[in-house]
Amino acid sequence: MIWLLILAGAAFLSILLYWIFITTEGVFLGRRMVIWLYDSTAHKYDSIKEFSASDDSFFIARPLIRATQHVNSPLILDVATGTGRVPRALLRKPDFDGFVVGLDASGRMLDQARIKLGNSDERSVECYSLVQQFAAPLPFPDNTFDSVSCLEALEFFPSDAEALVEMVRVLKPGCTLVTSRRRGRQARLYLGRYRSRTDFEALLRKSGLADVQISLWELDYDMVTASKNPGFV
């Protein structure tokens, strides 16, 4: 009997640790734990994710370029840029003539971004900068950027609502935010943090965004675009 109890306890503990560190990536232990986990795995992040350059060109670079086509040399902020997926997708496009700021709290993820951006394209050196900071508060003045993106990251922040308010603050009125909503089987395991489509849309509207569009993107994410309400202060 005692062995059964020990086995059950060990199984419970293993599941709990798996849920804390793997499934929800340390989010219930605070933002420093999340960043420590990303620092520790940065060198293998891209090989785990297996991003496709053509998919990223179509689903990420194309909407960002379209959203900023009314501006000469648009300034774009990518929050939680990781290994530089968004800057890389933009800089691979010959029709992108802007500047992209990639922000992330993990220094090791940014090191990977620097290596990959450095290898990708000679013109890229003058077209991007990388900033090590948390997503909230953002170290930029109000109404600075022609577009802001934040992909596959909101669910790892201490507060998605607080981060969205910051992104909207630095976005120019009328301009576009491109972000993602966690969906799929694992999304509901973020206990107390899961947002249904309706809930997510309501949060975006409350943060000062309008024209919200949510579409199926990846197995675990919806792609979301919305524009900053011109009258929003």
Ligand X SMILES: C[S@@+](CC[C@H](N)C(=O)[O-])C[C@H]1O[C@@H](n2cnc3c(N)ncnc32)[C@H](O)[C@@H]1O
Q: Compare residues 120 and 229 and give the one whose CB is closer to ligand X.
A: 120
- Minimum distance between the CB of residue 96 and ligand X, rounded to whole angstroms? 18
- Minimum distance between the CB of residue 45 and ligand X, rounded to whole angstroms? 7
Instruction: Single out the residue of 196, 156, 202, 151 nearest to residue 178, CA to CA.
Output: 151
Q: Compare residues 35 and 214 and give the one whose CB is closer to ligand X.
A: 35
- Minimum distance between the CB of residue 59 and ligand X, rounded to whole angstroms? 11
Instruction: Single out the residue of 205, 203, 178 nearest to residue 193, CA to CA.
Output: 203
Instruction: Single out the residue of 193, 171, 151 nearest to residue 74, CA to CA.
Output: 171
- Minimum distance between the CB of residue 140 and ligand X, rounded to whole angstroms? 14
Token pair recorded at residue 221: 């994410």
- Minimum distance between the CB of residue 78 and ligand X, rounded to whole angstroms? 7
| Burial of 219 from C-beta contacts in 10 A (0-12 / 13-18 / 19+) | exposed
Q: Compare residues 35 and 223 and give the one whose CB is closer to ligand X.
A: 35
How many Cβ atoms sit within 10 Å of the Cβ of residue 99? 18
Q: Compare residues 68 and 106 and give the one whose CB is closer to ligand X.
A: 106
The H-or-E segment that residue 64 falls in is helix 62-67
**DSSP strand E in 8-117: where?**
75-79, 99-104
- Minimum distance between the CB of residue 114 and ligand X, rounded to whole angstroms? 13
Cα distances (angstroms) measured from residue 40 to each of 106, 167, 228: 10, 27, 36
Q: Compare residues 111 and 152 and give the one whose CB is closer to ligand X.
A: 152
State the amino acid at position 188 in one-letter form: R
Residue with the two structure tokens 């024209």: 211
- Minimum distance between the CB of residue 58 and ligand X, rounded to whole angstroms? 15
CA distance 169 to 231: 12
Q: Compare residues 49 and 197 and give the one whose CB is closer to ligand X.
A: 49
Q: Compare residues 72 and 119 and give the one whose CB is closer to ligand X.
A: 119
Are 175 and 145 a contacting pair, CB within 8 Å? yes
Give the binding site for ligand X (CB under 6 A).
31, 34-35, 38, 80-82, 85, 104-106, 109, 134-135, 151-153, 156-157
| CB-closest chain residue to ligand X | 82
